[in-house]
Amino acid sequence: MDTSLVEVKNLKKYFKTPNGLLHAVDNISFSLKKGQTLGVVGESGCGKSTLGRTILRLIEPTEGEVLFKGESILGYDFHQMREIRKQMQIIFQDPYSSINPRMTVSDIIAEPVRVCKTITGEENIQKAVNEIMERVGLSNRLVNSYPHELDGGRRQRIGVARAIILNPEFIVCDEPVSALDVSIQAQILNLMMDLQEENGYSYMFITHDLSVVKHISDEIMVMYMGQCVEKAKKNDLFDHPNHPYTKALLDAILIPDISEKKKRSNLIKGEVTSPVNPKPGCRFAPRCPYATEACTAGHVPLKEISPEHYVACTLFQ
């Protein structure tokens, strides 16, 4: 089977601000197959989270299409959306603010089931909650605890449990490990990969951490100010980065290896400019060491430079 589970076409989300239109997500397209992971990387404010939420229609897109199993979900009404959300879930970044402090662990995990009525009968629901808790590594004695009694790692396990109890096919993971310590981060990453292997979940994994994204993804999309600047299979991207921004990102990673210490390469200058009413052309141009007039002259489209490797840069047009 080669059909895509999720397909996004020319998705745009602009926010109205007093100063003009903020281009949060600008013309993003991708497709994700079953059991695969798409990593989305970029710095704060590049539109990663907005993209994830727009796909789930937690934010309504301005333009474009989102297809789930070949059907466009943007025209769905409330009831249809509720039906389809059983198959599309999200894990949020901050395990401290994304769960209701006044609900017990079992109520939090059972809530999606109660809302969607996929399991009926209190006994069956409790049974399902217990199974899921065991699967994500939460001990049974915690069922009646409140979130404030738990540490970040355990809270994020609740977030994972809540997302998988409906047995979805597609999960948007919005920086699920960035608020956690390294040893706990590794535990959660392992859990997520195990679950994917067992149940064939497709992940859209949003992160700013390049070593995490390399570890978990099959394909990686690099975003800069709402646009996709480069997209490729993960090894291809790490071995042959082409866009100057991707190169700069890879150069900026600090590797825990001292043999690399002497090498210090091209740091990029400056900071991300404003996404409100952006100028035409490449948005990275003001920071780019290779920028020419052609970069700001007009739209720079994504171009396939080798099989399944797309770059949006005038150097490759």
Partner 1 sequence: MTSELLKINNLHVTYDTDEAVVYAVNGLSFTIDRGETLGLVGETGAGKTTTALSILRLLPNRIGKINEGEILLNGNDITKASEKDMRAIRGKQVSMIFQDPMTSLNPILTIGDQIAEVLKLHNPNASKSEISERVNKSLEMVGIPADRKEEYPHQFSGGMKQRVVIAIALACEPELLLADEPTTALDVTIQAQVLELMMELKEKLNTSMLLITHDLGVVARICDRVAIMYAGQIVEYGTLEEIFTGEKHHPYTEGLFGAIPDLKKETKRLNPIKGLMPDPTNLPSGCKFHDRCKYCTEKCAANEPRDIHIEGDSHIIKCHLFDK
Q: 269-288: which residues touch partner 1 (CB under 8 A)?
A: 271
133 binds partner 1 (CB under 8 A): no
Q: Tell me the closest approach of the beta carbon of residue 265 to partner 1, in angstroms.
A: 10
Contact residue for partner 1 among 16, 102, 123, 182 (CB under 8 A): 182
Both structure tokens of 40: 């989305």
Both structure tokens of 269: 């200058």
184 binds partner 1 (CB under 8 A): yes
Our CB check for partner 1 shows the closer of 7 and 174 to be: 174
What's phi and psi for 41, nearest 5 deg? -115, 155
Q: Which stretch binds partner 1 (CB under 8 A): 87-95, 175-183, 277-285, 307-315?
A: 175-183
* Cross-strand partners of 89: 171
255 binds partner 1 (CB under 8 A): yes
193 binds partner 1 (CB under 8 A): yes
Q: How many CB atoms lie within 10 A of CB 196?
A: 17
# chain residues binding partner 1, by CB under 8 A: 39
Our CB check for partner 1 shows the closer of 153 and 159 to be: 153
Task: For the chain, list the strands marked E by DSSP.
Answer: 4-17, 20-33, 37-41, 63-68, 71-72, 88-91, 170-174, 202-207, 219-224, 227-233, 303-306, 309-311
Inter-helix orientation angle 182-199/152-164, to 10°: 10
233 binds partner 1 (CB under 8 A): no
Q: How many CB atoms lie within 10 A of CB 303?
A: 14
Both structure tokens of 281: 């052309």
Contact residue for partner 1 among 187, 233, 286, 305 (CB under 8 A): 187
Q: Which of the 8 DSSP states describes residue 47?
A: S
Residues that bind partner 1 (CB under 8 A): 43-44, 151-153, 181-187, 189-190, 193-194, 208, 210-212, 214-215, 238, 248-249, 251-258, 260-261, 264, 267-268, 271
